[in-house]
Amino acid sequence: MAFLGSDDLAKEIGKSSDSRDVESYVYKETNDSGVKILSLVRPVTYPERLKPLTSALTLGDFVVLEVNAIDARLGELLVACSSSGISEGVIIPRPQPDQWIDETQLEQLVKQAGLGHWTIQKLDALSLRELMLDYLSKKESELNERLNDPLVIAVDQFFNVKGVGLVAIGGVRTGSVNKHDNLEILPSKGTGIARSLQVMDDDVEQAKAGDKVGLALRNADENSLSQGSLIVHSDVEDSVDIHNKTELNFISAAFARYSPSVGGVVHVAIDLQFVVGRIEVVEDKKLIINWESPLMIRKHGSPRLLICQLDAKPRIIGHSNNYKKLD
């Protein structure tokens, strides 16, 4: 889940597990019906850097947006949430001490951004946690459906561990991975074998869609990995398309003041990737973009492309869910 709020509120919900550009918070609850795990991703270095925000949104199925003030930052966050295509979220007004938020104005901005179906509620940490756990229960059937799709793991970080070897940390977007599976790393076409798996610091035999997994790789070259790499099963050919050039239907974001033009530079965010490209053709809403490095898109799950322009205000300028590979 994408958590766009303060560190203080996040720590009341879950335990902080790691911190870089994005910070993860985890809450585990065990009861008679089994184990429920909340995993929150918070973009620490936003708004200075945009990529942590897009990373959180491309991994999220639900958004928590804490509002401290009505300002330009809030406008960009609303645009980002709307463009991401995440269907459900909660907006929590929490003004700073001795400050206030005009809730009528907030409601108007939320509607203008296309998020009128999201709820605006004043929630404490306990109530918020219960709301997210309830959402997780409702989402279980959809996650089970994603198990039927080919494996795709989006890599967030990787490193060598003494006695273990090369470890990749990432989100299982679709499918499942088992110990000893033969794997391929894209776009480098590197290979490796799943030596061991960890989910929530527990050794497991399988990681599945929705899990954040620590994957120890045997016979893999560290140089084949990068942030945003995708890991797939080596014997499955229809899991990912690799684009060098893409034709897409561009849908402009609410509040966006940027118009695409030939020669313009944009970034696209999807599955922890943040790929830069140059616009070659503009015909009404159709854009053709040549990518500086390969753009990898899952063939299953209808992933949405989040389109950004770093000099624009807001920096999220739109999205596309209708696109095709040209090269």
Nearest to 193 by CA among 178, 172, 207, 206: 178
Q: Which CATH architecture has domain 240-325?
A: Beta Barrel (2.40)
**Which pTM value belongs to this model?**
0.92
Q: Is the pLDDT of residue 19 over 70?
A: no
Q: Report the CATH fold assignment for 2-146.
A: Rossmann fold (3.40.50)
Question: Residues, the chain, total?
Answer: 327
Q: Does this chain's domain 152-233 share its CATH topology with 240-325?
A: yes
Structure confidence by residue, pLDDT tens digits, 224-277: 999 999 999 998 888 999 999 999 999 999 999 899 999 999 999 999 999 999
The answer to whether the beta carbons of residues 182 and 257 sit under 8 Å apart is no
What residue segments make up the domains of the chain, in order of their start? 2-146, 152-233, 240-325
> Domain 152-233 belongs to what topology?
Elongation Factor Tu (Ef-tu); domain 3 (2.40.30)
Residue 141: pLDDT band by 50, 70, 90 thresholds?
Answer: confident
Q: What is the pLDDT of residues 267-308, one digit of tens each?
A: 999 999 999 999 999 999 999 999 999 999 999 877 899 999
Report how far residue 196's alpha carbon sits from residue 181's, in angstroms, rounded to the nearest whole number. 10
d(Cα 216, Cα 125) in Å, to the nearest integer?
35
Cβ atoms 301, 149 nearer than 8 A? yes
Tokens, residue 131: 């709301």
Long-range contacts: 132-136, Cβ < 8 Å, 24+? 132/1, 132/13, 132/38, 132/62, 132/64, 133/29, 133/36, 133/38, 135/62, 135/88, 136/36, 136/38
Q: Which residues contact 60 (CB under 8 A, 6 or more apart)?
A: 1, 2, 41, 84, 86
